[in-house]
Amino acid sequence: MRDFDGAAPAYVGRTDGPAVFDYLIVGAGFAGSVLAERLAAGLDKRVLLIDRRPHIGGNAYDHHDDAGVLIHRYGPHIFHTNSQPVADYLSRFTKWRPYEHRVLAHVDGQLVPIPINRTTVNRLYGLDLDEAGVAEFLKSRAEPVAEVRTSEDVVVGAVGRELYEKFFRGYTRKQWGLDPSDLDKAVTARVPTRTNDDDRYFGDSFQNMPLHGFTRMFENMLDHPNITIRLGADFRDVVRDVRYRNLIFTGPVDEYFEYRFGKLPYRSLTFRHETVDQEWFQPVAVVNYPGEEVPHTRITEYKHLTGQTNPRTSLTYEYPSAEGDPYYPIPRAENAALYRKYQELADATPNVHFVGRLATYRYYNMDQVVAQALALYTRIAKAEGAVAEG
Ligand code: FAD
C-alpha cells in the first residue's frame, strides 16, 4: 500500500504534452475525479480535469484554517457507505479514521439525540420507558394519515404532531423555505425513528473519515501523469481553446443547455466559519437547531470529526437561503418534470456523459456518486472493448 503520510503530491500531473485530450472532464468533485483517475490509470486516457473553483474536491473540499483545524468549506461531509466496492476503491487513496456520526438537537433548552430514540423521549418527557414503552408512547401519539403525500404526513403519522413541531416543522421551514405540508414525502422519509438507545446518525457498515482529509485523498487520486488539472477554469472559457474527443460534464445540466427550459430550482446555504478560544464548544460534531427563533439550522464542530487536539476549536454555522450556489435540488413534482426535459436532451447528446449530483439533479451522498462514476467507467471501458482494470 502507498504511504499516504508523506508530502501531498502536486496538483498538476502534466502541463506539457499534446493539446488533444481523450477526455475533458468538467468538475473536480467526486464524480469528475473518480472518472479522471479511472480513465487515466485504467484505460491510459489523457484527461484534462477542470473546475471553476480554485480547488479540487468539489463540495467535499477540506482545508486547514488559521487555527490549524481541518474544516470543510461547504459544510460537514461525513463518509458512510454500505458498498464494499466503493470503500475498497477509495481505500487506495487514503487511510481512514473510525468515526460514527452522532447528532444532537437543541429542543426545549436541552440537547437530545436525533434521530428520535429512547433517550430523546425519556429526556423530553421526564420518563424512564423501556423499548416497548417507547414504541407504545410513539404509537399513542402518532396520528392516522389516510394518504401519506407530504413530509408533514410522514412525521405526524410516525410520531405525532407535538414531536413533529419540536423537531421537524421549524427545521424544515428553515432548510427548504417551505412548510413540510408543501414538501414531497421523500424529504423526511429519510429520517428514522428508534425505540432503542442507538444514537448513531447512520447505520451503514462502513463509517470512517479519510485520515488526512478529503482533499488529501483527492490529491492522491489525481496524482497521475495522464491527468492535467486546471483550476479556476470555467467550461465556457476552456472549451474555446482545448481540443478533446469526449466530454464528461458534472456541472449543472440546465447550465450546460443554457437554461433552455428555465432554471432548475435549488436551495442554497451560507456558511459562517469561526474559531473560538475554548477547547470544545459542543458535545458532538453536529448540533441541530430546529427552532425558528435562530436563523441557523446547525452548528458543526470539526475536531470531533478529525480527532485533532488544539486549544481552540473551529465551527461552521449553516444558514439556508434561496440564492447562492446550488446545493439541494428542491424535491417537488414540477421540478422533477423540468429535469426530465433536460435529461432527454442529455440522453440525445452524443459523446457527452452527464454524471454526478448537479448533472442529474439529485441529492446523492458521496458514496452514491462514487458508485455512479465507477459504473460509468465500466460502461466506457466495455464500449471500448477494454477490460476495465481494477
Ligand atoms: P460536486 O462536489 O458539487 O462537484 C462538482 C464540481 O463541478 C464543483 O466543484 C463545481 O465547481 C464544478 N463545476 C460546475 N460547473 C462547472 C463549470 N461550468 N465549469 C467548471 N467547473 C464546474 N454526502 C455524504 O455522503 N455525506 C455527507 O455528510 C454530506 N454532507 C453534505 C452537506 C452539504 C451541505 C451538501 C450540500 C452536500 C453533502 N453531501 C454529503 C453530498 C456531497 O456533497 C455530494 O455527494 C458530492 O459532493 C457530489 O459530488 P459531485 O462530483 O457530483 O459534485
Query: Is 75 part of a structural domain of the chain?
Result: no
From ligand 1's centre to the CA of 135, what distance in Å? 38
Nearest to 363 by CA among 269, 260, 222, 259: 269
Measured in Å, residue 75 CA sits from the centre of ligand 1 at 11
> Residue 61 Cα, ligand 1 centroid: separation in angstroms?
9
Q: What is the pLDDT of residues 322-344, one digit of tens each?
A: 999 999 998 888 999 999 999 99
Closest ligand 1 atom to the C-alpha of 234?
Answer: 19
Residues with CB under 6 A from ligand 1: 26-32, 50-53, 58-60, 74-78, 234-235, 250-251, 269, 327, 356-358, 364-367, 369
CB 202 within 8 A of CB 101: yes
Residue 11 pLDDT exceeds 80: no
Mutate to test the pocket of ligand 1, among 239, 256, 366, 372 (most ligand atoms within 8 A of CB): 366
How far, in Å, is the centroid of ligand 1 from the Cα of 28?
Answer: 9
Average pLDDT over every residue of 192-219: 96
Q: Is the pLDDT of residue 29 over 90?
A: yes
For ligand 1, the distance from its centroid to the CA atom of residue 39, given in whole angstroms, is: 20
pLDDT of residue 355: 98
Number of domains in the chain: 2
Ligand 1 atom nearest 61 alpha carbon: 2
- pLDDT tens digits, one per residue of 263-293: 999 999 999 999 999 999 999 999 999 999 9
| Pair 139, 229 in one domain | no
- Which atom of ligand 1 is found nearest the CA of 233? 20
Q: What is the pLDDT of residue 241?
A: 86
Q: What is the pLDDT of residue 387?
A: 60
117 and 243 housed in the same domain? no
- Of 173, 189, 205, the domain-final residue: 189
Same domain, 247 and 374: yes
CA 59 to centroid of ligand 1, rounded, Å: 4
Residue 316 lies in a domain: no
- pLDDT at residue 190 in the model: 59
pLDDT in tens, 128-152: 999 999 999 999 999 998 998 899 9
Q: Is 70 exceeded by the pLDDT of residue 10?
A: no
Q: How is residue 311 written as a grid cell?
A: 486549544
- Out of 189, 210, 240, a domain closes at 189
Same domain, 24 and 121: no
Q: Where are the alpha helices (DSSP H) in the chain?
A: 30-43, 84-90, 118-125, 131-141, 151-159, 161-163, 170-176, 186-189, 214-221, 235-241, 253-256, 303-306, 333-347, 366-383
Per the document, the length of the chain is: 390
Answer yes or no: is 204 within a domain.
Answer: no
Residue 35 lies in a domain: yes
Asked if 108 and 161 sit in the same domain, the reply is yes
Structure letter (DSSP) for residue 93:
T
Report which of residues 7 and 209 the model is more confident about.
209
Q: How far apart are the C-alpha atoms of 187 and 165, rounded to whole Å?
A: 16
- For a substitution probing ligand 1, which of 72, 77, 270 has the most ligand atoms within 8 Å of its CB? 77
What pLDDT band is residue 1 in, cutting at 50, 70 and 90? very low
Interface predicted TM-score of the whole assembly (ipTM), two decimals: 0.99
Does residue 252 share a domain with residue 113? Answer: no
Indicate whether 119 and 255 sit together in one domain: no
Judged against a pLDDT cut of 90, whether residue 191 lies above it is answered with: no
Find, among 246, 202, 185, 230, the residue nearest to 13 by Cα: 230
Whether residues 240 and 375 fall in one domain: yes
- pLDDT(208) > 80: yes
Residues 370 and 228 in one domain: yes
30: domain CATH number is: 3.40.50.720
127/176 same-domain check: yes
Containing structural domain, residue 356: 20-56+222-264+330-383
Residue 209: phi, psi to the nearest 5? Answer: -110, 145
Domain finish residue from 189, 214, 235: 189
Instruction: Confirm whether 62 is domain-assigned.
Output: no
pLDDT score of 386: 67
Q: Has residue 254 been placed in a domain? A: yes
- The residue nearest atom 46 of ligand 1, judged by CA position, is 366
In terms of domains, do 107 and 159 share one?
A: yes
Question: Is the residue at 363 inside a domain?
Answer: yes
In a domain, 86, yes or no: no
**Mean per-residue pLDDT over the chain, rounded:** 92
Asked if 185 and 227 sit in the same domain, the reply is no
Q: pLDDT tens, 64-118?
A: 999 999 999 999 999 999 999 999 999 999 999 999 999 999 999 999 999 999 9
